[in-house]
Chain A
Amino acid sequence: MDLEINIKTELPGFSLDVNWRMQRELVVLFGHSGAGKSMTLRTIAGIAPQGDGHIRLNGRLLYSKDMKINLPPQQRSVGYVFQDLALFPHMTVEKNILFGTRGIDSREARKKAMDMMELFCLAEYRGRYPHEISGGQKQRVALARALMRNPEVLLLDEPFSSLDDQLRLEMRRCLVNVVKREFHIPAILVTHNVLEVFSLADRVMVYSRGRIVQCDTPQAVFNNPVNEEVMSLVSLKKLYPDYLFT
């Protein structure tokens, strides 16, 4: 597994200029809001302007300005969990999960969906609509739906941002158990939560104003932040509750 992204995109008031590659690992894109993290994910998925450069996934060019290649999102083989989850509100949990299986034999798809629902503890909610289940269950539906098509890379755009601390912890465990251990799938997680960086990341890329300012293991970033901005992002105050510092 190998994902290589080398993109320069100019937008009004913002530019993204990133060049990095990843292998079978969980990479966290970390930084302040508006630093270009989500934009990077959308660019990989083909749902944002692509600009100059190229994106290569497992040797296959998803995008290349020079070679005039720009695969549509349908052909990129990426699983995407959106920040607002983007579940289909008019479809049941089961139909949401089955949505991406067109082209697969329907009996086989149903069996796979059932296995997936059991894995994510969703089987008893299969007939319910998104507005009839809890926030944590919605997260799991979004994750299961994205994994149903066996994507080559999983893109997670701040999927836990709307959850309370307990549910965040639960979802982090779910992500580690299912995505890393069960599926062995490379994943890119966008977050500005430092706890998620330290509990999930194999490698962290710190974004600032559309550029990567530091790329290393979480421990290395924590021990040797390259500048004051990174230091403030990973400071102990972000890791521990305020009362420890008073």
Chain B
Amino acid sequence: MMESVLSPLWISLSTVFTATIITFFTGIAVARWMARYEGKLRNFIDGILILPLVLPPTVVGLGLLMLFGKYGPIGQLLLLFGTTVVFSWPATVITATVVSFPLMYMNARGAFEQVDVSVENAARTLGASEWRTFWSVTLPLAWPGVAAGAVMAFARAIGEFGATLMLAGYIPGRTATIPVTIYFAVQDGEMNQALVLVVIVLIIVFISLSALAYFKSKSYKVITV
């Protein structure tokens, strides 16, 4: 029993933390760029970046399978190096990253757009480089929104099921995350295992929501002048 609970817990946590770290940095970078980008392709790029949020997870999973599968462009490239990601732990990370990215991106972009341009310009006229302006002024002011985005991305990643099943499958001890394990446990009549995993997910989600509430309360205090 212990092993059947701890293994999916470990796979889920390692997957979700890795995915959240990736979405955190890529989300910040893309959101910062998009927050100030005013080109003609703005709506199109925005739509592409948000797409995994609105598409059914199975569609995202199939798309990823077509990209990373044996005959997909990335899959072919990986085969040249003698490796593949389908039905492996990296596949769980890829799906978790893709489905959680839009939440990180949307929250971070919104937070960056809220930062007053004149505050950033003030930093520039005071001699701060673009890098220092970002780290000392923009990011601290946008931080509550950025952190809330990371928490929401984390929560979305922990619940990811459909796309993970399509790309990573269900291999206990390798790709069986908590949601996938719950599904198969119920199917196999292992209700105790399923319920224990449900309680664990509820605890993780509750902690995430508490963190989200904390960051939301923080934003008012920091941004108000």
- Interface residues, chain A, CB within 8 Å of chain B? 45-47, 72-74, 76, 78-80, 82-84, 86-90, 99-100, 102-103, 130-131, 138, 145-146, 148-149
Contact = CB atoms under 8 A, between A and B. Distances in A.
A84 B128 contact: no
B45 interface: no
B127 interface: yes
B125 A79 contact: yes
Given A82-B118, A84-B118, A89-B141, A45 B125 contact: yes
Contacts of A86: 116, 118-119, 121-122
Interface in B108-125: 116, 118-119, 121-125
A146 B127 CA distance: 11
B137 A73 contact: no
Contacts of B126: 99-100, 145-146, 148-149
Given A86-B116, A131-B225, A47 B129 contact: no
Contacts of B224: 89, 131
Contacts of B213: none
Interface in B132-169: 132, 136-137, 140-141
Question: B119, B128, B132: which has the most chain A beta carbons within 10 Å?
Answer: B119
Contacts of A148: 126
A82 B123 CA distance: 11
A80 B121 CA distance: 9
A102 B127 contact: yes
Nearest to A79: B125
A73 B124 contact: yes
Report whether over half of chain B's contact residues are helix, strand or loop; otherwise say mixed.
helix
Given A82-B118, A88-B119, A47 B223 contact: no
25 contacts: A45-B125, A73-B125, A74-B125, A76-B125, A80-B121, A84-B116, A84-B118, A86-B116, A86-B118, A86-B119, A86-B121, A86-B122, A87-B119, A87-B122, A88-B119, A88-B123, A88-B136, A88-B137, A89-B141, A89-B223, A99-B136, A100-B127, A138-B225, A145-B122, A146-B125
A6 B137 CA distance: 32
> Closest 6 CB pairs between A and B?
A100-B126, A86-B122, A73-B124, A80-B125, A86-B118, A47-B121
B222 interface: yes
A47 B122 CA distance: 10
A89 B222 contact: yes
Contact of B127 (A45, A83, A149): A149
Contacts of A103: 127
Contacts, number: 71
B218 to A, nearest CB: 11
B222 A102 contact: no
B39 to A, nearest CB: 16
A47 B116 contact: no
Given A86-B122, A89-B119, A131-B225, 13 more contacts: A45-B121, A45-B125, A47-B124, A73-B124, A73-B125, A80-B121, A80-B125, A86-B116, A88-B122, A99-B123, A100-B128, A130-B225, A145-B122
B118 A90 contact: no
A245 to B, nearest CB: 37
A47 B123 CA distance: 11
A233 B125 CA distance: 31
Nearest to A103: B127
A87 B119 CA distance: 7
Nearest to A48: B121
B215 to A, nearest CB: 14
B122 to A, nearest CB: 4
Contacts of B125: 45, 47, 73-74, 76, 78-80, 146
Nearest to B125: A80
Nearest to A89: B225
Contacts of B136: 88, 99
A79 B122 CA distance: 9
A72 B130 CA distance: 10
Contact of A102 (B116, B128, B223): B128
